[in-house]
Chains A and B, each alone.
Chain A
Amino acid sequence: MTHRELLHRRTFLADLARIAGAGLVAFDLQLITACAGDDTARHTADGRLTAAEARTLRAFAAQILPSDNDGPGANEAAAVEFIDRAFGMPFFADTVPVVRDGLANLDARANTGNSRQTFASIPSTEQIAIMRQIETTPFFATARTLVVMGTFADPSYGGNRGSVGSSLLGIEHRPSFTAPFGWYDGQTTPHVTSGAA
């Protein structure tokens, strides 16, 4: 068995929990940690997003990182296209059923009475109200994580289209930099080699 095949055995949800420690930072997604032990959610991904799922996910992504007066958001960064591709990658296989069920649930919640409404077709304020109801579910944490990844991931995965994500953070795209790097070191001249005080 090659290392690559072995690599794919890892479960993504367990891995999200491991991010907790990386960089010595407590990770926010307690629910994902809890969910990581649940092996029943594991089954093979059977394909990419349907058109209806993509529509619902776009509406969801637009609420996570909106396009607003402050500039473009997750959809301009092509986060949903990233997720569509991610669903074909073994590493993300465990997220597929979680996201798929959650998207169906969003549409079900939007379809009150016999209105035939979908999550994407209801007004933004109603979308927000629904998202608040499910904020602590594994679906919300997983889908939010994927939207964030799609906004900031390397363009080779289809993420961060047009540098929307990195521009949002104020990152200059250059392979190398020279001092001064920021405002504060720019104020001190010249660079001193032994410490102050």
Chain B
Amino acid sequence: MTGSPLPQRTYSERDAVDFVIVGSGAAGGVMAKELATAGFDVVVLEQGPWRQSSDFTHDELAIEQRHDWLNIALEPYQSFRTTAAEPPRRNTGLALRYMRGVGGSTVHFAANYWRFRPSDFKERSLLGAVQGGSLADWPITYDELEPYYTKVDWEIGVSGAPGPSDPPRSLPYPMPPLPIKSSGVLLDRAASKLGLHTQAAPFAINSQPRDGRPGCMSCGRCTNYGCEFGAKSSTLVTVIPKAVATGRCEVRTECTVSRVETDAKGRATGVVYWDSEGREQRQRARATILAANGAETTRLLLMSTSAQFPHGLANSSGNVGRNLMFNCYSSTFGRFEHPLNEYKGAVAGRIIHDFYEHDPKRGFYGGGGIDARFPYNPIGFALSILPKDVPSWGSGYKRALREYYAHSVRFTGHLTSLPQAGNSITLDADHKDARGRPSLCLTYEDHADDRKTQHWFQTKTHELMEAAGANKIWDLPIAPSDGSVQLLGTARMGNDPRESVVDRYHRAHDVPNLFVCDGSSLVTSGRGNPTMTIQALAFRAADHIRRFAGAHAI
């Protein structure tokens, strides 16, 4: 599984390629394909191995308990504090987590592909300032991004059907939605009773054979697992093979980047990394693109200090690592008389977007979408999902396992996180990761409005569960955030170099040939499920970078 399973051109480290891209995930994969197709020489450096569909299994112990694929398996120590005034302590909670490997987190994600809405890009103008928040308008609009959302639909492969309050789209979905599940029928029933609207959930999963890949086989192991059939539209099976097939892209695996190097003129000259044998190497490039995710991009920029950039590269604004957003959640569980068998099929069949928009009548910042899902496998379910009034061992426990597993569902609000300058990722000088780089220190405290949003939505999911006819309902306790799989906002886009890290084309304000495009680019959090937007940004960024390179304007 190491090295490339595909024949690919290789480049010498000594020769400067056109672009070196750090990260092969949601954004890196897209940019590699777009730039290589445009005729540029591209080297992609990926921390993890190159797994293939045939490497994927349903081994819950390895994937969900041991976390074999995740960064946290190799970074045993991350620190956490709620404010910078506290001493950091060991983060024994969720921590900052992402998938290591070609395709990045698109390999193991659940593939919910929600577009942001026009309002998401201008909340600061629409709502005004929120006390304690660093809400800002994006430097781009929905209309500017829309063609690229459509490109994601068609080039990555998204299935779905339009909903009653969707933002405008220039082309229909390329594939019909995945089949409805029992959870979707129950959400339909509940919504109808409460006067709300459901719609088919859009997924980056083939609902029918397309683009040389099969339709979904409904095996049920999307969340946390790789798709054995190649039906999930990860960059591993979509854009990366196409990038490599151009003959102008090398994906170099098990390479951990430690810094971006710059010359006396303040231009990036490439990156320094450890290869799969642990040897230090350099890849020179005319331009450097960071697409390493909101945590790793932050670490790289902060590690890339020099006399000219004493606080880290591209950090004259001081915003590298700041304005971190996770997306909040709140959930209600319900058990029903008949089996739902939610362990089959893609994660969710139906969603409710009636509460997507901020509503001043609620009295706090926030909005969200609701879906119905039960993404639990046997061990995780048996250890942590049953309601608190059920015995945790003995005959009663065993009976409950039988009575709940196939009969239960979770209604979840996927919610905003207000950007706050103090929520950040910094380097922990006292601890190291597996390669000896400084560990990640998380400073994070949910805004009071985030908590209010969570509670407001939990009231809604509870009402929906009652309306759906559950015979047992239990709310998931709302706890303070201590980590996430969604790592957003740490190198935010903006027009003002004093307030943002990259410009509207993802070019670093401080370094003309350094581009950053991944979750870190997001200015606001949307309502969970950010990958669709990250990939639309990547297609758009690649379009502009290609134009700049053609005009010798990098």
Residues in A lying within 8 Å of B, measured CB to CB: 1, 3, 6-7, 9-11, 14-15, 17-29, 33, 36-37, 63-66, 68, 70, 73, 91, 128, 131, 144-145, 148-149, 151-154, 156-157, 159-160, 165-166, 168-172, 175-188, 191-197
Contacts and interface: CB of A to CB of B under 8 A. Distances in A.
B191 A65 contact: no
Contacts of A148: 379, 382-383
A70 B396 CA distance: 10
B380 A19 contact: yes
A172 B434 CA distance: 40
B341 A21 contact: no
Given A153-B61, A197-B188, A168 B94 contact: no
Given A17-B92, A193-B177, A152 B184 contact: no
Interface residues of B, number: 94
Interface string B458-488: 0000000000000000001101001100000
A66 B219 CA distance: 30
A53 B380 CA distance: 26
A179 B395 contact: no
Given A22-B224, A144-B392, A184-B340, 18 more contacts: A14-B90, A17-B92, A21-B93, A37-B92, A63-B393, A64-B394, A152-B60, A154-B59, A168-B401, A170-B341, A180-B182, A181-B340, A186-B182, A188-B180, A194-B163, A194-B200, A195-B188, A195-B191
B512 interface: no
Nearest to B231: A176
Interface in B333-377: 336, 338-345, 350, 375-376
A28 B66 CA distance: 18
A160 B412 CA distance: 30
Interface in B152-202: 161-164, 176-177, 179-182, 184-186, 188-189, 191-192, 195-200
Contacts of A159: 61
B64 interface: yes
Given A153-B60, A169-B405, A182 B182 contact: yes
B377 to A, nearest CB: 8
A152 B254 CA distance: 32
B399 interface: yes
Nearest to B73: A7
Interface of B: 49, 57-62, 64-68, 72-74, 76, 90, 92-95, 161-164, 176-177, 179-182, 184-186, 188-189, 191-192, 195-200, 217-220, 223-224, 228-229, 254, 278, 329, 331, 336, 338-345, 350, 375-376, 378-385, 392-395, 397-399, 401-402, 405-406, 412, 434, 476-477, 479, 482-483
Secondary structure call for the B interface: loop
Nearest to B277: A2
A21 B480 CA distance: 11
B394 A128 contact: yes
B434 A6 contact: yes
B345 A195 contact: no
B61 A149 contact: yes
A63 B345 CA distance: 34
B274 to A, nearest CB: 11
Contacts of A188: 180, 185
A196 B197 CA distance: 7
Contacts of B392: 28, 144
A191 B180 contact: yes
6 contacts: A7-B68, A15-B67, A21-B482, A24-B412, A149-B65, A195-B163
B228 to A, nearest CB: 8
* Interchain residue pairs A-B with the least CB separation, the first 6: A21-B94, A182-B182, A183-B338, A195-B198, A176-B217, A152-B378
B66 A19 contact: no
A187 B185 contact: yes
Given A157-B61, A197-B197, A22 B380 contact: yes
Given A23-B380, A26-B477, A153-B60, A181 B398 contact: no
B449 to A, nearest CB: 20
Contact of A168 (B182, B344, B375, B398): B398
Contact of B218 (A29, A177, A196): A177
A25 B375 CA distance: 11
Contacts of A25: 376, 380, 384-385, 476
Nearest to A192: B180
Given A177-B344, A194-B200, A195-B191, A18 B93 contact: yes
A65 B393 CA distance: 7
A182 B398 contact: no
A27 to B, nearest CB: 5
Nearest to A24: B329
A73 B224 CA distance: 28
Contacts of B342: 181-182
A39 to B, nearest CB: 10
Contacts of B395: 66, 68, 70
A172 B343 CA distance: 10
A19 to B, nearest CB: 7
Contacts of B394: 63-64, 66, 128
